[in-house]
A and B are shown apart, each in its own frame.
Chain A
């Protein structure tokens, strides 16, 4: 078990490293560097910058050194919690991101919960009543849920809400709470808005998990021990829930590691379409404005957040599934 957790930890560290390299590449890739854009900004306001001053600035930021040194310096700053300054907002990146990152995490977490709440009962129903009308409807909806990209679903729901109810489903807060400080009323308001994007976000994952659960449970239900349980007079509910469902749920838990990155990815686009105050719209704006420190930091933090979530789910998995504990 220790070996398993250590291996997971090793993978998590490797993943964070890969993500940090890519984030750094995103900051570095656009032509010119931070100073070029800074000077362009100064020029636009009428301040003249000499060549010498520009070189001094570069030396100060370490931009005249090799890429590796710059990466090391950036990582060193990041590890100290200093993510640089957002050029567009003229504020430290941490301040700009703050709340939004928390809301992103909350949205992804709610979506995972919804995925489970929806997928488990529907999957069980679909397997137990195989080939019933309900099963066909669920299977059909499941395929559509898989095929429709999240952001299209968000668009359609927004359109329907706007065209038929005159309501706007965008945002996570009512207008009076957008800039209000955190309070119990604000949390309640958030919960009132959170469920629509969470459901939109969870459709694809739910559809996939229903399919997995249905297939697994169908395999289990045909096994002799279920017949034995029934023959011994166990109630139908108990005969199904006590063992077959528990066995069928196993791969369910093990897929959460791949569900989380998927949900975080999806939340970005859905947030942009529904203009939610998460990091999604911020990332898009930062990328379009070439505000690279902000963009790179968002990519890095999203990645790290996902890796931590996956790590937690992996450790939970060892705790739930004894086979993994015994394997190593």
Chain B
């Protein structure tokens, strides 16, 4: 399906039969250009794509978007409900939150919070707060929103409330996003490597190599994964650092997740092996490696990208499940699963429902990746129907 392929049935923004200029445009357009045109028509996938980009934006700038130090705990602020931001004071634009007074209920010993509408705490844009390094290099202490830090401990901004240790849920959620969406990427990269290697071998050499790899894939697919993940994750040494656990968990997840990618790659190899342009390349005396990397890979690259996108949600759910059970990432690392661990107890959740909020990004991310992947898969073959 190289440049010379026939272009029948290409759906493009313009009608090729009526406007010759537009028709010209389609005939000279590159494969990626055609894919983009087709993808753009898929509105749901476009929207999902924007959401996915937003997730990675949040992951990159988590510390700038955070309002409070995510590690700062305060027993006096334990399980505080979300503070609503009031954008207007009368008719003037003056964002503020109401002060909150905490006290211990003498009967139940629970902390109860009382909103005090007379005390208005101004909220500033680009406020100064805890120091961090933007993108890991530029030292900064600017945050998108904040209250005058350091002056008064009672002045707080907890957009989504606090957890049991009194840490800001909003800021923790942003940091968790960083870990959760990146663990998906690293995991998918590893399974992509395994999938392309084994799927490629399987599609390239038929015969016993193919049979063997196909049987291995079938074996892997009939194993119930979660008990295995749990066992392997629990067997990790307890004294490993956050980074070691992070990579070990990613490795465990991807070890069992490569089969679908291998299946896609093998299918593509089998389909392309008999294509005219591959046969032509072989007849022209190209070496095996050149045929694969110069002629075949570019034409199924898009399929791999689509399959990879569709593999990401499973990775995210796996990590969330493992961490939720306390077998994945361990505090002080924060991921969506680690945050949801606090919502394991029904009584706690009934009293502080905001602890369930980390479930929302999980669901949105999984949906967005699914829709994006679907759209990419439809657009992946711009020459077909």
Chain A residues proximal to chain B, CB less than 8 Å: 10-12, 14-15, 18-19, 22-23, 25-26, 29-31, 143-144, 146-149, 151-152, 155-156, 158-159, 162-163, 168, 170, 257-258, 261-262, 264-266, 268-269, 272-273, 283-284, 287-288, 290, 295-296, 298-299, 302-303, 306-307, 310
Contact = CB atoms under 8 A, between A and B. Distances in A.
B313 to A, nearest CB: 7
Contacts of A262: 224
Contacts of B230: 268, 283-284, 287
A46 B363 CA distance: 51
A12 B343 CA distance: 39
B228 A299 contact: yes
B292 to A, nearest CB: 29
B179 interface: no
B356 A265 contact: no
Interface in B212-238: 215, 218-228, 230-232, 234-235, 237
A261 B222 CA distance: 6
A41 B32 CA distance: 64
A261 B321 contact: no
A188 B12 CA distance: 61
B325 interface: yes
A298 B231 CA distance: 10
B224 A306 contact: yes
Given A155-B343, A155-B359, A295 B234 contact: yes
B370 A146 contact: yes
Interface of B: 215, 218-228, 230-232, 234-235, 237, 313, 317, 320-321, 324-327, 340, 343-344, 346-347, 349-350, 353, 356, 359, 362-363, 366-367, 370
Contact of A258 (B215, B221, B232, B359): B221
Given A19-B223, A149-B321, A159-B349, 17 more contacts: A11-B218, A12-B222, A26-B231, A146-B366, A152-B359, A156-B359, A159-B353, A162-B350, A170-B346, A261-B223, A261-B224, A264-B227, A265-B226, A266-B226, A268-B226, A273-B344, A284-B325
- Judged by DSSP, the binding face of A is helix
Nearest to B351: A163
- Judged by DSSP, the binding face of B is helix
10 contacts: A14-B219, A15-B218, A22-B232, A23-B231, A143-B370, A162-B346, A261-B223, A268-B224, A269-B226, A283-B227
A106 to B, nearest CB: 16
A18 B255 CA distance: 13
B349 A31 contact: no
A25 B224 CA distance: 16
Contacts of B235: 25-26, 29-30
